[in-house]
Chains A and B, each alone.
Chain A
């Protein structure tokens, strides 16, 4: 619970380098694990982070977020490639400048479908998901806010996550 500054982060990084490396490998980083660990370190150093309440957890989260970002951008690139070749296989040649405005529409359309999906789960799971993911309220605080147990909050969120993962799969099949 002791808070510490970037000096604390540096200490935690050096002391737990092996654990972080092991995590990155388990997370699927493979041969790039060392390189990614270095990248995380550079990011943290550049950000000049102030005191954080739990340096080690902060570092693990940074590593996890980096892996998620990499996965998301790889998947998006894959999809763009596929869309592009789909478009060019057809008889309509050319003008497939996939502009960012179009991608923005896609995001908005996905958000609309996501909200529908969440609403179908019921009022409380939809509201809990929204408060957690969009407003950033921690799960323990949500249990109090909604007057339910922590395990109910977790189970509502699991249903929401599973429904959204299934939705994404359907969107991608189209």
Chain B
């Protein structure tokens, strides 16, 4: 079928535009489509042809080194991968300490804060969180403690790098949540992907996955979680899966601004359940029936015990 050449050219232009993940001018696209029924047909032809002819082109083995432009593969020849990576890590730490431009953003328990990143993207800090940012380099951050949801615009030339204790997370175009508490790091990805310690374990964490790693340990655990749960704290919701009461108390303290503790005998008890923060904030005793625990007022502190 011979398509009108002008329509074909316009269809190619729209196919290129809509093919970009950043495309958002759907209104103008609709208007063009409405001008002539042949437009939709021509657009379909182009998009389908490109998809049909190229779907079997193998993906280049770039996998997790999205952050490595050609330059770094040269340095590999000099040092070998692992050494190069550890050198890079040392240099990064050295530079970090030398930077006077770093500043700290901190939230009190029960408070949340939105930090816009220069050049796009933002970080939402949950309560009880401390984060170090760099005024000279908006593509790095350190999560010292607490929890935050990151919405990052991916830039392969300057990947966003988050340091959590001894671990490094590198984004691949992304929305992800990181929790750093009691020497443990939990990463959950909602959109895009994040690479855990590219120089070491080099694990790619995809949407719907959670990676947990204890401080000072090379071991990690990868599990699944519904992407809807990622960053759920922003809507005042907390989900616990087989969590110790210690973890529950710590999370609730951070989210409500009310001090929770666990009776000595119950620290290791594990519970599962999903709860809304607000009712617990207004009456901590609401926690009892929700998680099947007992809650007792002890001075300024609410103490949780297994029943």
A binding-site residues for B, Cβ under 8 Å = 1, 3, 5-7, 19, 22-23, 26-28, 48-54, 56-57, 60-61, 64, 67-68, 71-72, 75, 104, 107-108, 110-111, 113-115, 117, 130, 132-141, 144-145, 154, 157-158, 161-162, 164-165, 167-169, 171
- What would 12 more interface pairs be, CB under 8 Å, given A28-B40, A111-B58? A3-B151, A5-B228, A5-B230, A51-B230, A53-B175, A67-B40, A107-B56, A110-B52, A114-B54, A141-B154, A145-B157, A165-B8
Which residues from B are CB-within-8-Å of A75? 48
User: Are A165 and B26 CB-contacts (below 8 A) given A50-B231, A64-B18?
Assistant: no
Which residues from A are CB-within-8-Å of B216? none
Q: Are B157 and A134 in contact (CB under 8 A)?
A: no
Which residues from B are CB-within-8-Å of A167? 49, 53
B binding-site residues for A, Cβ under 8 Å = 8-9, 12-13, 15-24, 26-27, 29-30, 33-34, 37, 40-41, 44-60, 62, 66, 69, 120, 122, 149, 151, 154-157, 173, 175, 190-191, 207-208, 226-232, 234-235
Q: Are A51 and B40 in contact (CB under 8 A)?
A: no
In whole angstroms, what is the CA distance A136 to B62 when docked? 11
Residue in A closest to B48 when the chains form the complex, CB atoms: A72
User: Are A53 and B12 CB-contacts (below 8 A) given A48-B227, A110-B52, A165-B50?
Assistant: no
Which residues from B are CB-within-8-Å of A165? 8, 12, 45-46, 49-50
Q: Are A161 and B12 in contact (CB under 8 A)?
A: yes
Q: Are A110 and B23 in contact (CB under 8 A)?
A: no
Q: Are B157 and A138 in contact (CB under 8 A)?
A: no
Q: Are B57 and A115 in contact (CB under 8 A)?
A: yes
Which residues from B are CB-within-8-Å of A161? 12, 15-16, 46, 50
In whole angstroms, what is the CA distance A104 to B228 when docked? 36
Q: Are A135 and B226 in contact (CB under 8 A)?
A: no
Q: Are B227 and A169 in contact (CB under 8 A)?
A: no
Q: Are A52 and B175 in contact (CB under 8 A)?
A: yes
Most chain B CB atoms below 10 A, which of A49, A72, A113, A165: A165
Q: Is the interface of A mostly helix, strand, loop or mixed?
A: helix
Q: Are B54 and A23 in contact (CB under 8 A)?
A: no
Q: Are A51 and B191 in contact (CB under 8 A)?
A: yes
Which residues from B are CB-within-8-Å of A135? 59-60, 62, 66
Q: Are A1 and B122 in contact (CB under 8 A)?
A: yes
Q: Are A57 and B23 in contact (CB under 8 A)?
A: yes
Residue in B closest to A49 when the chains form the complex, CB atoms: B227
In whole angstroms, what is the CA distance A61 to B156 when docked? 23
User: Are A5 and B48 CB-contacts (below 8 A) given A53-B175, A158-B12?
Assistant: no
Interchain nearest-CB distance for A82 vs B (Å):
14
User: Are A53 and B20 CB-contacts (below 8 A) given A110-B52, A115-B57, A165-B12?
Assistant: no
Which residues from B are CB-within-8-Å of A132? 19-20
User: Are A5 and B15 CB-contacts (below 8 A) given A75-B48, A134-B59, A168-B49?
Assistant: no
User: Are A158 and B13 CB-contacts (below 8 A) given A28-B44, A51-B231, A168-B53?
Assistant: yes
Interchain nearest-CB distance for A65 vs B (Å):
10
Which residues from A are CB-within-8-Å of B235? 5, 7
In whole angstroms, what is the CA distance A98 to B44 when docked? 25
Residue in B closest to A113 when the chains form the complex, CB atoms: B53
Q: Are B12 and A162 in contact (CB under 8 A)?
A: yes
Q: Are B53 and A114 in contact (CB under 8 A)?
A: yes
Interchain nearest-CB distance for A43 vs B (Å):
14
> Within the complex, which residue of A26, A51, A67 is in contact with B30, where a contact is CB–CB below 8 Å?
A26
Residue in B closest to A67 when the chains form the complex, CB atoms: B44
Which residues from B are CB-within-8-Å of A60? 26
User: Are A133 and B230 CB-contacts (below 8 A) given A72-B48, A75-B48, A145-B156?
Assistant: no
In whole angstroms, what is the CA distance A3 to B156 when docked? 22
Which residues from A are CB-within-8-Å of B29? 23
Q: Are B207 and A50 in contact (CB under 8 A)?
A: yes
Q: Are B149 and A50 in contact (CB under 8 A)?
A: no
Which residues from B are CB-within-8-Å of A49? 227-228
Q: Are A134 and B54 in contact (CB under 8 A)?
A: yes
In whole angstroms, what is the CA distance A108 to B26 when docked? 33
Most chain A CB atoms below 10 A, which of B41, B48, B157: B48
Which residues from B are CB-within-8-Å of A72? 48, 51-52
Most chain B CB atoms below 10 A, which of A22, A75, A141, A169: A141
